[in-house]
């Protein structure tokens, strides 16, 4: 029986460590996004976009490791079905951050409207909360804290909705350059989608936390 316990605790550390890595990678991408939209020098901004692209690949590798580990182990530290859901949710946040940065780069945007900067900050804040919750998964009796943090992520998502729809209204009312309007709209859409993915991640984390109470 001893090997079963050793196997369980080894697998417990493996999954939680991989989730910690995935969450940190996502936060690093979000921080770079904030830096990018507040950088005036084109060359510096392009270098940041390249960093985001590299971290997105890192995130994919971490997600792949989680799936591989799931195929090999019997005992998992949280509900087996919740592991691929959470891994996918975190990866989706990273993917949409990358999508937003790619659009900024491909559209050659050198002036960012206030709404873009505001939503980028909200993405970073939501990512930090996700990282905190992921870190708490390995600790018992933290369900109340986890649920409170997940609710904060949903508040950020609501704030982002308000910024997004107000920005769209402003664009359609005041922007006379149709091409520029489309570019800003697409970037804003990617950013808003990223915050929605953060909310989806909080839902997955909240479900895991509630299941631990049962």
Q: Which of 134, 131, 140, 138 is nearest to 213 (CA)?
A: 140
CB 18 within 8 A of CB 64: no
Separation CA 213–CA 210 (nearest Å): 5
Please report the pLDDT score of residue 3 as a whole number: 40
CB 122 within 8 A of CB 55: no
Task: Please report the domains of the chain, with CATH numbers, ordered by start residue.
Answer: 2-213 (1.20.58.220)
Number of H helices, E strands in the chain: 6, 0
First to last CA, the chain: 26
* Positions of the chain with pLDDT lower than 50, given as ranges: 1-6, 8-9
Rg of the chain's alpha carbons, rounded to an integer? Answer: 19
Separation CA 172–CA 153 (nearest Å): 29
Please report the pLDDT score of residue 11 as a whole number: 65
Tokens encoding 130: 């996700």
CB 11 within 8 A of CB 45: no
Tokens encoding 205: 């984390």
Separation CA 49–CA 63 (nearest Å): 21
Separation CA 178–CA 192 (nearest Å): 21
């Amino acid at each position: 029986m001893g090997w079963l316990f050793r196997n369980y605790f080894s697998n417990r550390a493996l999954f939680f460590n991989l989730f910690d890595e995935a969450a940190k990678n996502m936060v690093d991408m979000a921080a770079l996004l904030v830096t990018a939209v507040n950088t005036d020098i084109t060359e510096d901004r392009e270098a940041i976009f390249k960093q985001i692209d590299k971290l997105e690949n890192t995130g994919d590798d971490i997600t792949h490791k989680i799936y591989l580990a799931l195929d090999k182990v019997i005992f998992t530290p949280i509900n087996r079905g919740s592991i691929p859901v959470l891994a996918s949710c975190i990866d989706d946040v990273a993917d949409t951050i990358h999508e937003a940065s790619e659009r900024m780069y491909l559209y050659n945007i050198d002036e960012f409207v206030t709404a873009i900067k505001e939503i980028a900050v909200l993405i970073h804040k939501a990512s930090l909360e996700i990282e905190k919750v992921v870190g708490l998964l390995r600790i018992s009796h933290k369900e109340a804290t986890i649920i409170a943090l997940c609710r904060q992520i949903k508040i950020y998502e609501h704030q982002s909705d308000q910024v997004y729809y107000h920005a769209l209204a402003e664009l359609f009312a005041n922007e006379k350059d149709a091409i520029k309007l489309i570019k800003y709209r697409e970037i804003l859409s990617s950013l808003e989608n990223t915050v929605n993915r953060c909310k989806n991640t909080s839902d997955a984390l909240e479900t895991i936390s509630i299941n631990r109470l049962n």
